[in-house]
A = this chain, B = another copy of it.
Amino acid sequence: MNDQQPVQLRVALAQVDTRVGDLSGNAELVTRWAAKAAAAGAHLVVFPEMTLTGYPPEDLVLRESFARASEHALVDLAATLEEQGLGELAVVVGYLAHTEGAGPAPVDSIPADDDHDRPGDANPRHGAPRNAAALLHGGEVVVRYYKRHLPNYGVFDEARYFVPGTELPIVRLHGVDVALTICEDLWVEGGPCGVAGQAGVDLVVSPNASPYERAKDDLRLPLVRRRAAEAQAPVLYCNQVGGQDELVFDGDSLAVGADGELLARAPQFVEHLLTVDLGFDPSSVPDRREGRIGPMTVTRHVLSEAPVPAFEAVPGLVVEPLSDCEEVWRALVLGLRDFIDKNGMPSVVLGLSGGIDSALVAALAVDALGADRVYGVGLPSKYSSEHSLSDAEDSAKRLGLHYSVVPIAPIVDAFSGSVDLAGVAAENLQARVRGTLLMGLSNQHGHLLLATSNKSEVAVGYSTLYGDAAGGFAPIKDVPKTLVWELARWRNAEARRRGEIEPIPQNSIDKPPSAELAPGQQDSDSLPSYEELDAVVADYVDRDLGMAELLERGHDPEVVARVLRLVDTAEFKRRQSAPGTKISLKAFGRDRRLPITNRWRESLPSVREGAAL
C-alpha cells in the first residue's frame, strides 16, 4: 500500500424490501441491486440483515430444511453473481446459517460454562442456527460473520433462535480492511466495533433490520457515530425497508466517517441505492492485529491488495428525516401495502361509518393500493345519524374508491326475532352483523377486510370482538385517537399543498366520536377524553409505569383507575385482534405479552407496618 496517497473505495448500501421466506426471490433482488451497484461504479455493496430469508423469519429458523436451503441459496447466489459478470463486486449479504453445533444433543449435555442458555426441552433447535452475513466475491463465499449480540426484548426473540458468534472476520478489499458486524452489534459498547477498533480496520459494514418506531431515526445517527469513534473507522449502516406483519422497516441507511461526519443518508420508506465515496489513509491505522481480542477472535482475509484506480469522489446524498406526521403516514402506508401485496391479496374492503377512523383507514388504503383496489361499504343501522351515511359517501367520493351501501336493520331484526338481546349485547350484535357482512364480501370477492380500530380503542377494549375488530389487518391499531385526528389534518393539509382534493371529510374530523350502537351514544359517555386517555395509555402501556409513577406524572387519579381497569381486562380481546403496523415504543401484539389470566391490578403500594426491604 502507498502510505502517501489515500486509498479509495466506492461503496453502496442497497436499502431493499425483501420478503420473508422467499429465498429465490430475495436472491434475485440481490443480483438486480448488485448490478445497479456495479453500474454505479461501486466496489462493495452492503445489503440488509438476513437478506436472503427476509427478517424476521421467526420460527422458520427452527425448520432445518429452511436453514439448509438458506445456506444453499447463499452459495448459489455467489455463483450467480459471478455468472452475471458481478464477481468483481464485493457483496455483503445477510442469511440464515446452519452450522454444526451442540446439535440436538441430550438435554443435559450442555457445558456449564455456556452462558447462552439452550433449549432443555425434548425438541431443541437443529445444529446451531446463526444470524449471519457473508461477503461474496469472485463466485465464492469469502467469509461468514455470525451476529454476536442477539436482541431478545420488545418484538425481538433472537435468543430463541440463534447461537451468538465469537469471530470477527476482517477482509482486505483493494487494500482496505473491512470488518463485518450485524445490527444489534452496533448497540453494544465494547462489542464487535470496539474489537474492530482494537484490531485495526479501515471500514465497518453493518447490515440491519431495525423496525420503524416514532423518533427512532433520532437514535440511529448518534449511535452509529459512537461506534465509528470506537472502531476508528467509517461505519456503513444499511437497513431494510418494507412491511412484515406488525413491523415496518424505514430504511434510513447511513454512512458515517471515522470522525463522525454524516457522509450519506438514504430516504425513508423507499428502496434506495445509497452510494458513498470513501478515502482511507491506511497509515492512520497504527496496528493490524488478529487472534483473540477481548471476547472475540479476529481473523484476517486478503482478497485484493491493489487499491482501485483513483477516481473523482462525489459527495453522498444526505436526505433530511421526514416530519413526524409524514413519517408515521408513510410507515402506515408501507406497512399496509406490503401486508396486502406480499400476501397476494388483490384488494381490500372496509366499513365506512362516516367517522374519522374509517375515513383515515380508507385514505391510507387508497394511498397504499390505489382507489381501484379499495372497496368501502356503508352499513347504516337504525341508530346511524344522517351525517354518518353522508360523511361515508363524501369520504368514498373524495377518494374515488368503490362504494356500496348495505343497511343492517333487516338482519338485526332477524336476530332479534330469534334471541332476546339488550344493552351491550344488542350493541355488539349490530357491530357483528357488520363484521359478518364485510367478511361475507371478503370471502365472496377475495378482498382482505381492514379493521379500523385505533390504539386507544384497542387499549381499553372499546370495540366488539368479531364486529368492528374483525379483519385481516388493522392499519391504525398502534395509532392513538389523538394522533388519528392529527394525521387526518396533516393529510388534508398535504393535499391542499399539492393542489389535490382533501381525502378526509372535514366533518369526520370535527364531529364528536360515536360508535352509534345506541340512540345518541357518544364515546365520551363511556370513556374519558381522548387527550386524557391517550396520555395515560402512553405512560401505562408504552412505558410500563405503575400507579405511583402515573400519579406523580399528574394524571387524574379517577381517570387512571378507570383506564387501567379497562386496559387490564381487555387482554382477551387483544389476543384475538388482527395485526397492525407498529409505530410506537410498544405496540399491542408481539411487543407486549401479558397474560389474559392476570389478577395484578395497579394500586398504591401499601407498606406493611414494620416491614422493610
The chain A residues found within 8 Å of chain B, CB to CB, are 19-23, 25, 54, 56-60, 62-66, 68-69, 71-72, 75-76, 79, 107-113, 115-125, 149-154, 157-160, 164, 184, 187-191, 194-195, 213, 216, 219, 223, 226, 243-245, 294-295, 338-339, 342-343, 406-408, 410-411, 413-415, 417-425, 428-429, 432-433, 435-437, 439-441, 443-444, 465-466, 470, 472, 542-549, 572, 575-579, 585-586, 590, 592-602, 605, 607-608, 610-613
Contact = CB atoms under 8 A, between A and B. Distances in A.
22 contacts: A20-B595, A59-B592, A60-B594, A60-B595, A64-B546, A65-B547, A68-B546, A72-B613, A75-B612, A108-B189, A112-B190, A112-B295, A117-B152, A117-B158, A119-B152, A123-B586, A245-B596, A342-B597, A406-B418, A415-B440, A419-B440, A428-B440
B410 A428 contact: no
Contacts of A109: 189
A608 B190 contact: no
A123 B154 CA distance: 8
Number of copies: 2
Given A244-B595, A599-B22, A600-B23, A63 B121 contact: no
Nearest to A410: B414
B432 A439 contact: yes
In terms of DSSP, what is the predominant structure of the interface of chain A?
A: loop
A419 B69 CA distance: 46
Nearest to A427: B443
A418 B425 contact: no
A597 B187 contact: no
Nearest to A446: B425
Contacts of A414: 410-411, 413-414
A123 B417 contact: no
A58 B593 contact: yes
Contacts of A71: 613
Contact of A598 (B20, B112, B472, B542): B20
A49 to B, nearest CB: 14
B223 A611 contact: no
A56 B595 contact: yes
Nearest to A600: B21
Contacts of A610: 79
A547 B66 CA distance: 10
B60 A600 contact: yes
B611 A58 contact: no
A518 to B, nearest CB: 14
Contacts of A418: 406-408, 410-411, 437
A190 B25 contact: no
Given A22-B599, A112-B188, A443-B425, A608 B72 contact: yes
